[in-house]
Structure 1
Amino acid sequence: MSKDKKSIKDVTSQAGDLAKNIWLAGLGAYGRAYDEAQERYEKASKETPRLFQELVSKGSNLESQAREKLGEVSNLGTSTSIEERISKMRASLGFGHTASAEDLGRLEKKLDALSKKVDALSKAGKPAAAPAAKKAPVKKTAVKKTAAKKAPAKKAAE
């Protein structure tokens, strides 16, 4: 038994050492990551003013370009008045077009031709439509309750 106790103590001691080494390795990794983060923070804080100035100059360039484009667009808008725009829109849609005597004459001729065709078709002898046939009375079924239930449904549908 003493041999078994020694082997158990050795195994537990080795497991304890291994666990301690794992803990220390994790702690070392944390310390290393902290040091690297600290170095990067210091480096970034030194570069921040330069980076900020670059961004400001880039932004001011973009602002001036945008103002130029906006000025060009606003100049285009003032060159044509709203009334001119409305009249162009009406012309493109066909509103505001006054009919000339020629237009009215052409329309009159078309109307006359269509009237003659309609008269000719009506005289051609198409028989008048036959009157609609009366519906056959609905036979009552043997069960009165069923017929009573169906009747209101038909009235609602009509």
Structure 2
Amino acid sequence: MVKKIQKNGSDKKATAQTFNSPLSGAIKDSAQQIWLAGLGAFSKAQEEGGKAFESLVKEGLSIQRKTQAVAEERISEATNKVSSMATDISSKASGQWDKLESIFEERVAKALNKLGVPSARDVDALIKRIDALNQHVQQLAGKAPARSAARKAAPAKKAAVAKPAAKKVAAKPAARKTTRKAATA
């Protein structure tokens, strides 16, 4: 167990004498100097701290600018890679769409052909034939305008007169001829 040490009054006197001795004065002076040195260091740190803080801010700013430049460069590279990949993918996709579209068109054309629906080529060929026939008709109409007028008049008479009437018309000129012969004789 711990024993309690009792202090005597003589011990108090001895400690008081030690603090009053020249050694205690030296200790007090030394402690005072340490305290003042600490205050001086603190003051100097405050003065130098402002300067150090400003230099750290400047250094941090330059590092930030460098990292931003590097980051922008990396972003630019990544953007270029992604855009080139997108271009490649879109060209491949458009090629696939073109193939799919042509397959679809071929199948629809086959189905329509089986149903008897004319294709675009058939319609184009008919249009060309119609144009050629129109030109031929115009050429024929342009070469013989007198014939066409005579032909137009003759069919008009034939259309107005029916077949039995045509026989009567033919009979009348014959009757006139006989009357003319009789009159001259």
Range class of TM-score, shorter chain:
0.3 to 0.5
Q: Highest Rg: 1 or 2?
A: 2
TM-score normalised according to structure 2 size: 0.33
Give the structure with the higher percent helix: 2
